[in-house]
Each structure stands twice: as structure tokens, then as C-alpha cells.
Amino acid sequence: MEPTYALHSRRCWIDGALTEATVEVRGDKIHRVRAGRHAHQQLIELGSAVLMPGLIDAHVHVNEPGRTEWEGFDTATRAAACGGIATIVDMPLNSSPVVTNPEALRQKTEAAQGKLHVNCGFWAGYTGGPLSDLEALLDAGCLGVKVFLVHSGIDEFPNVTEADLHRAMPLIARKGSKLLAHCELAPDTAPPAPADPRSYPAYLASRPKQWENEAIRKMIRLCGQYDCPTHIVHLSSAEALPAIAEARKRGLPLTVETCPHYLYFHADAIPDGQPLYKCAPPIRERANNEALIAGIKAGAIGFLASDHSPAPPGIKELDSGNLMKAWGGIAGLQFLLPASWTALRGHLSLEEFIPLVTSRPARFIGAERSKGLIKEGFDADLAAWIPEEEEIIDESAVWHRHKASPYIGQNLAGKVEMTAVNGRVVYWEGAMREEKVGKTVFTDRI
């Protein structure tokens, strides 16, 4: 039976404003949106909870197949559903095999079968191999192409050289796709290892802003040269913002995301010997966070993504606290909404904030005609949450495969009440209500 129900909220995000409305769902689509409160046989009353499109997290490392013990489709998409997220896009690493050819994509989509609690798209990876593989991945419906300019953390996914980019970017532009770049450039000779591998300031100094600034300058140059849509993932160095703003002003197809951990945490408060906070590029000093927030307000940074990249506690070196050895990656998928809102609520209104996790990432993944807005005919992917409600994150409420997350113990504002995916209410008042209703998302089905 097709679900037919309506949701009423006094704060429904419609046409960019929060207004009282009743949203009717039929099957997997939004059937009707009406101002005010209207009776319905099956009315879900949300009161003053904010009703908005389900979040889209365009940057998630699921790691299945091959490293499912790090994170898998079942656990990742369950956490997403509990966090108000209706769609994730999976990175081509750190699964094994990495998704750099069609056979690896086949294994990836097969592994996702029957496990998706939210929708899931896939980024292709490019590591300098045959362009025929890259073209085949785009023809198969991957939403774009991810590259690293620096060692990715796993040897199966080497970084590209500038020569590789000169070969790949014309193809990516011709296919109407986009390039996503991890922007850090390391010097040829590695700096000496710090004396104390547990020191956060030493880790921070080992990956300076300069690495990001230089890589971003390079990508801006190549973006212009090939008119190839180029996206800077997880911007941390706010020093790069003037160059980004200038390039966008010139009309270059350049987009940028940042992550809640670069806004919510800051280096001065990170204890030594605590690899939960280790990621690359690193979390920087408080003034940098403030400059990133200014970059969001100014529109240079278009949206937010979790860059959820967990690892088992042993690989995260939680016992040794060795920051130089530990896996770099923050586990935060479930907390994309509350962590972002908590960091930004003093700076942005709800109406300014909501697009950063809904309509903007929808446009970025090419889903602007089906997702990211509450609009008749759009996918019934919805989230209801209470921005004013704060809660201290308890380990028992974490649905990632591993509980280890820097958000545990944090007091976050923004409690998720309900998540609907493809018309199905998957999460409601603290519990999963329906499972495995997510779909795979490809360029021809979006």
C-alpha cells in the first residue's frame, strides 16, 4: 500500500520562509502543499517543529565492501536516518576495491543492495588510470569524480598529478560532470616528524594552511583553463576564501563545501593525545572558524557536508593517542544537522541555515528538480526537528558502526524528531520505524 498522510507544522520551510503549512504525501512524492492547517485521515502533527526537506550529505565514506568493519551501508544509513538525512553520497574510498572502474562500482552497488535506510548516490574516483574507466563510471551514473592532490591515507587510492588533471578535466567537462578535489599539496620533502606524536599543535603544524591555499590556487587555475566544474571538498583554511570569492566572481564554475567539525571545534580546545579530532585538513584555530563562517555568510562556501570518515578504535589509535599514526577522519554523519546548527545559530537565521543542508547540496548533486525543496511533485524526503532543543550526545544514541565520535558528550542544539525517505517515515520520536526504504541515486534517476 502506498503511504498517504499529511504533516502539519507551524514552521514549514516553503519558498525560503518558515510558515504554517500542511504537506500531503502520496507514495514517494509530495502530493500537495497547502498553507495553514488542514484535516487529513492520517495527520502527523509536528506542532512548531521545523519541517524541511531531508538533509543531503554529499560527502560520506561508507567503506563497504572491503572495510565494512570501519563503516557499512546498514550502519551508516541508519545513523543518517536518525540524523534527519534522507540522501548521502558515498565517496569512492575507503572501500576495497576503491571505485575507480565499473567493476568496482558494480561491487559497491551490489554491497548496498537491501541495506539502504536512506538514499545513496556514488562519486567515482580518479587516480590517474585509463580515461575509459572514468568515462564508463560517469556513463554508469556516478554523480561526479573525486581526486586527491595529496596522499589519500590509503595506498590503493593514489593522488593525481597535474598531468593527470590535464587529461581528466576536459573529459569531465565534456560529460557535463564535476570534479571534487581534496585540496592539500605536500612539499616534496616531508617535514621532520614531531618530537611528541601526541601533541595536537604539532599535528596542526604538520598540515599548514599553505598546503590548502596552494592546492586551491592550482584547482582554480585548472577550473578556468578547462571550464570544468570544480568543487573543493572540506575547506578548512579560511585564507583561501579571497581567491575562491574572486574566482567565483569571475564566473568560474567553482563550488566549495565545509564541514561542521571545522566550525564547531577549534584547535585551542582540542586536548593532546585525542585522535578523535584528527582529520585532514586539520581543525584549526578559533579565528579560522570565524572566517569560515563569514565565508558561508558571503556565499563563497555553498553548503555543509559531514565528511564522515570513521575507523575502528585500534586504527584510530585511541589507546596510544598517537596523532601521527592515527587514521584521519571524523565520525559525525549522524550529527551533521545539530553540530552545524549549534556552530552557526549565533550567526545565521534558520532561513539562511536550512539551504546549506538541503537545496544547495541538492543542486550540487544534480537533484534540484526532485530534492531539496518542499514542493509538489518533489520526492517526499523530509525532516522535522526542533532547533531550540539541546541535548548532550550520549554514546547510546550513536548509530554509526563505532561509537567513537568527538561529538559524544557535546551539548548540541537541534533535536531530530522525524525523518521520511521516499515517503516512508523511517525515524520518529527516537526510534527507527521502517527500514531499507532507501534507493540508489544515479544521474539518470535523480
Min separation Cβ 97 and Zn ion, Å:
17
Min separation Cβ 91 and Zn ion, Å:
5
Residue 437 CA to residue 116 CA, distance in Å, equals 7
With CB under 5 A as the contact rule, which of the stretches 71-79, 106-114, 288-296, 303-311 interacts with Zn ion? 303-311
Residue 61 CA to residue 183 CA, distance in Å, equals 17
Amino acid at 57: D
With CB under 5 A as the contact rule, which of the stretches 150-158, 288-296, 305-313, 395-403 interacts with Zn ion? 305-313
H helix or E strand, kind and range, residue 290: helix 286-297
CB atoms within 10 A of CB 230: 27
* In contact, 380 and 29? CB cutoff 8 Å: yes
> Which cell numbers in the block locate residue 359?
537545496
Compare residues 33 and 333 and give the one whose CB is closer to Zn ion: 333
385 bridge partner residues: 50, 416
Compare residues 184 and 307 and give the one whose CB is closer to Zn ion: 307
Min separation Cβ 327 and Zn ion, Å:
12
Min separation Cβ 307 and Zn ion, Å:
4
> Which cell numbers in the block locate residue 139?
556513463
Compare residues 135 and 307 and give the one whose CB is closer to Zn ion: 307
For Zn ion, the nearest residue by Cβ is: 307
Compare residues 21 and 279 and give the one whose CB is closer to Zn ion: 279
Min separation Cβ 324 and Zn ion, Å:
19
Min separation Cβ 403 and Zn ion, Å:
20
Compare residues 74 and 307 and give the one whose CB is closer to Zn ion: 307
Residue 145 CA to residue 259 CA, distance in Å, equals 19
H helix or E strand, kind and range, residue 383: strand 382-392
With CB under 5 A as the contact rule, which of the stretches 45-53, 188-196, 301-309, 360-368 interacts with Zn ion? 301-309
Compare residues 75 and 306 and give the one whose CB is closer to Zn ion: 306
257 counts as binding Zn ion under rule CB under 5 A: no
307 counts as binding Zn ion under rule CB under 5 A: yes
With CB under 5 A as the contact rule, which of the stretches 75-83, 149-157, 269-277, 306-314 interacts with Zn ion? 306-314
Burial letters 261-284, b for 16+ CB under 10 A, else e: bbbbbbbeebeebbbbbbbbbbbb
Compare residues 83 and 281 and give the one whose CB is closer to Zn ion: 281
Min separation Cβ 261 and Zn ion, Å:
12
Give 210's contacts (C-beta < 8 A, 6+ positions apart). Answer: none
Min separation Cβ 309 and Zn ion, Å:
5
Compare residues 214 and 307 and give the one whose CB is closer to Zn ion: 307
Give CA 6 to chain center in angstroms: 29
Amino acid at 404: A
Tell me 403's DSSP state: -
Q: Write out the E strands in 183-328.
A: 230-232, 254-258, 303-304
Amino acid at 26: R
> Which cell numbers in the block locate residue 288?
579560522
Size of the residue set binding Zn ion (CB under 5 A): 1
Binding positions for Zn ion, 157-186, rule CB under 5 A: none
> Which cell numbers in the block locate residue 27?
507514495
Min separation Cβ 262 and Zn ion, Å:
13
With CB under 5 A as the contact rule, which of the stretches 17-25, 75-83, 160-168, 302-310 interacts with Zn ion? 302-310
Min separation Cβ 347 and Zn ion, Å:
25
Indicate the burial class of 170 (C-beta count within 10 angstroms; 0-12, 13-18, 19 or more).
middle
Give ∠ CA 275-120-70 in degrees, rounded to 5. 30
Compare residues 309 and 342 and give the one whose CB is closer to Zn ion: 309
Compare residues 307 and 381 and give the one whose CB is closer to Zn ion: 307
With CB under 5 A as the contact rule, which of the stretches 277-285, 299-307, 315-323, 355-363 interacts with Zn ion? 299-307
List residues near Zn ion by CB under 5 A: 307
